[in-house]
Structure 1
């Protein structure tokens, strides 16, 4: 079953951010745009490159009204230790959620049960807490956080402009489409 168009399911978790632990629930994803980025595990190889890249885009994401949440099945204590020991992760300012119970990973359908780890999954969630995009990649394939910017801008545009859609490779300010019977077979 596709998660597109569904509300984020309830959860409670502890996260690490800027030297502090904080409680996070699905309610945190309401009232703003959110990016939830699942990754397999702390203290690994591809994961720190992805999270550092996401941090490099964090200021622009914040300007777009987006909060970022990374999630792995590690604990919030492990996130703190990784943040303290890794130069790449030490830069991270966004919220790092611990999911040792696997509830969040199951809710987002990214848990690899046999390993107890999450797939690489990226989700864009609208201010109503509804999932708008899903991207899952294999463990060895790192994601490019800059690709999120265009997707978020398109999702925000479509939300703010009912009746319009964004074609492939749409960039902010570019032409959109207004689906109607006259367009059928002419694109």
Structure 2
């Protein structure tokens, strides 16, 4: 059981440039952040700089039988945190990540199982983050999350994630 005010132990870092095992990372995430097990995340994959989750709508239904906005918002925020954390881990950096600012635009009801995609807003965002970390020991990156039901874009979110100094 997690204790209030106590950090959860980090996963050991992978070798530089190596990707985390998605199943292992999601298992750790579910232990570190208890609500994760209730979000309906089925699978996590990568496509270049894009992080992709496949999710089950059943775990996130509202009273109308569609996606609950609060759950969808939590998922987009968490996904940006995961994107940033996984990027740091690929670069052998153990740092704390926090969301500094986030916004969402709900475009259509979520009526079926769905996928979330997260990627940097700017193509050079990861390079700028690397430069900031090298120069100042901390940095920020803006990420965009998009929720798709089939070919329909249902939600767009944007988050500014801060990587804190130190370890």
Instruction: Name the TM tier (shorter chain).
Output: under 0.3
Give the TM-score normalised by the residue count of structure 2: 0.27
> Which structure carries more relative contact order (alpha carbon 8 Å, separation 6+)?
1
Larger strand fraction of residues: 2
Give the TM-score normalised by the residue count of structure 1: 0.25
Q: Which has the larger radius of gyration?
A: 1
